[in-house]
């Protein structure tokens, strides 16, 4: 038991840091994922994760694998795309998903090209799939401060954000904060994606956001509880993924995301809210 669950973290420094990384990430990325999902923006999150790449790649071109440069570049590119797409969706007839879709392939191609200009395939691999086991203390600190800020900001805009999703007309009638809240929310998405990017890379960063959220949807009909459940699922799949990857010698980032994927699959089948099991086993109807 000890060997299976505790020893890897007790004995190896890099495992402890990876553990801290995935737990911290889950705390804020998963609730943000809930709102992305409820606003039908799941794919938009994916696109924004890609938008980060060219920015981070520019940072890489200038300064190599430098934490600061790649973080700043990623945030700048992500926010630019998020704000531009958000404004386009808000003030033109084009829907948000269509506005974002254009950025998806362009960003990925541009990012990969930029990295390849100076870096090796190893660098490219690292940028695309992350390096959970190579998190150093400064990177952890960046992840932790971003997620802390996100949690506070999310708490601050929780009410208007919920209202914007349920009844935007009503929110506009009681408060002019709709647009600000929307843009702030998109910025939080970017911050969390940049944080996740350091651990999981461009292609998997959005996984810690969307999979726990999508899984949590099957367990409750209350948004607050849903957020809490998604955090729990994120933490458990983070820990599970790390352990599996340690014992079976599998790549860590994909193992973490796969673990979340297993939770998602289980939720789809077993979840009491719209899960398959409930649908497939008709029960006797009630009196009223």
**Least distance between other proteins and beta carbon 16 (Å):** 36
Strands (E), the chain: none
Joined tokens for residue 61: 């071109």
Instruction: Answer yes or no whether residue 168 interacts with other proteins by CB under 8 A.
Output: yes
Stretch that binds other proteins, among 55-63, 69-77, 119-127, 166-174 (CB under 8 A): 166-174
- Which CA distances in Å does 17 have to 108, 135, 246, 253, 260? 29, 6, 14, 14, 19
In terms of Cα–Cα distance, which of 130, 102, 127 is closest to 44?
102
**Least distance between other proteins and beta carbon 246 (Å):** 36
Instruction: Answer yes or no whether residue 272 interacts with other proteins by CB under 8 A.
Output: no
In terms of Cα–Cα distance, which of 233, 249, 139 is closest to 194?
139
If DSSP codes are grouped into helix, strand and coil, which group holds residue 286? coil
Instruction: Answer yes or no whether residue 38 interacts with other proteins by CB under 8 A.
Output: yes
In terms of Cα–Cα distance, which of 207, 223, 248 is closest to 22?
207
Instruction: Answer yes or no whether residue 282 interacts with other proteins by CB under 8 A.
Output: no
Q: Total binding residues for other proteins by CB under 8 A?
A: 24
In eight-state DSSP terms, residue 4 is I
Question: CA–CA separation, 242 vs 140, rounded Å?
Answer: 16
Instruction: Answer yes or no whether residue 95 interacts with other proteins by CB under 8 A.
Output: no
- Binders of other proteins among residues 102 to 161 (CB under 8 A) are 156-157, 159-160
Of 7 and 179, CB closest to other proteins = 179
Of 105 and 156, CB closest to other proteins = 156
**Least distance between other proteins and beta carbon 238 (Å):** 24
DSSP for 228-247, written as a single string: HHHHHHHHHHHHHHHHHHHH
Instruction: Answer yes or no whether residue 5 interacts with other proteins by CB under 8 A.
Output: no
Instruction: Answer yes or no whether residue 173 interacts with other proteins by CB under 8 A.
Output: yes
- Binders of other proteins among residues 214 to 253 (CB under 8 A) are 217, 220-223, 226
Residues that bind other proteins (CB under 8 A): 38, 156-157, 159-160, 162-163, 165-170, 172-175, 177, 217, 220-223, 226
């Amino acid at each position: 038991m000890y060997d299976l669950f505790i020893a890897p973290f007790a004995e190896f420094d890099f495992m402890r840091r990876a553990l801290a990384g995935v737990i911290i990430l889950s705390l804020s990325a998963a609730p943000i994922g809930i709102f992305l999902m409820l606003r039908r923006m799941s794919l938009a999150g994916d696109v924004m994760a890609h938008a980060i790449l060219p920015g981070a790649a520019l940072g890489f071109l200038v300064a190599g694998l430098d934490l600061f440069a790649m973080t700043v570049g990623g945030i700048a590119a992500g926010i630019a795309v998020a704000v531009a797409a958000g404004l386009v969706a808000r003030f033109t007839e084009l829907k948000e998903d269509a506005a974002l879709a254009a950025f998806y392939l362009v960003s990925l191609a541009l990012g990969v090209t930029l990295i390849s200009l100076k870096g090796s395939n190893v660098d490219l691999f690292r940028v695309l799939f992350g390096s959970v086991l190579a998190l150093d203390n400064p990177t952890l600190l960046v992840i932790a401060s971003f997620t802390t800020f996100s949690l506070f900001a999310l708490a601050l805009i929780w009410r208007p954000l919920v209202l914007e999703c349920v009844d935007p007309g009503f929110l506009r009638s009681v408060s002019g904060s709709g647009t600000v809240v929307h843009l702030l929310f998109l910025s939080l998405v970017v911050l969390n994606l940049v944080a996740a990017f350091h651990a999981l890379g461009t292609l998997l960063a959005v996984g810690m956001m969307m999979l726990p959220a999508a899984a949590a949807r099957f367990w409750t009909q209350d948004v607050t509880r849903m957020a809490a459940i998604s955090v729990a699922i994120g933490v458990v799949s983070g820990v599970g993924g790390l352990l599996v990857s340690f014992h079976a010698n599998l790549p860590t980032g994909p193992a973490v995301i796969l673990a979340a994927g297993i939770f998602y699959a289980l939720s789809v089948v077993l979840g009491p809210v719209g899960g398959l099991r409930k649908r497939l086993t008709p029960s006797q109807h009630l009196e009223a």
